[in-house]
Amino acid sequence: MDLDAEGVRLADGSRLTEARAQELAQEVLHAAGRGRPSLSAPGGRSPQLRLSVPEQLRDGLRARADTEERSVSELAREALERNLAS
């Protein structure tokens, strides 16, 4: 749909043009933010780890995550925290 050619109106009665649609889309994306909140500090970035594991361990972790409806990262974090606390 060509918004510049069509007579589309917003709730406030103003005309929706291609340019205005782009502005609104950018506002929504900015408000939504990107990714999950930081685990370290508000507004910060969480450090990331990359590690190699045997295929069987990876598959088991994925299966458990699916069963518990949690993320692989969440389960891995929990296991690391438990191990370091003991």
Q: What mean pLDDT do residues 8-16 have? A: 89
41 part of a folded domain: no
pLDDT, residue 34, reads 64
pLDDT digits (tens, 9 = 90+) for 32-51: 666 677 888 777 788 888 99
Question: Residue 66 is part of which domain span?
Answer: 50-86
How many C-beta atoms lie closer than 10 Å to residue 52's C-beta? 6
Residue 56 inside a domain? The answer is: yes
Residues 28 and 56 in one domain: no
* Whether 29 and 58 share a structural domain: no
Reported as half-sphere exposure (CB side, CA atoms, 13 A), residue 24 has a value of 9
Residue 55 has what pLDDT? 95
Backbone angles phi and psi of 63, in degrees to 5: -65, -45
Q: How confident is the model over 50-73, as pLDDT tens digits? A: 999 999 999 999 999 999 999 999
The total number of structural domains that make up the chain: 2
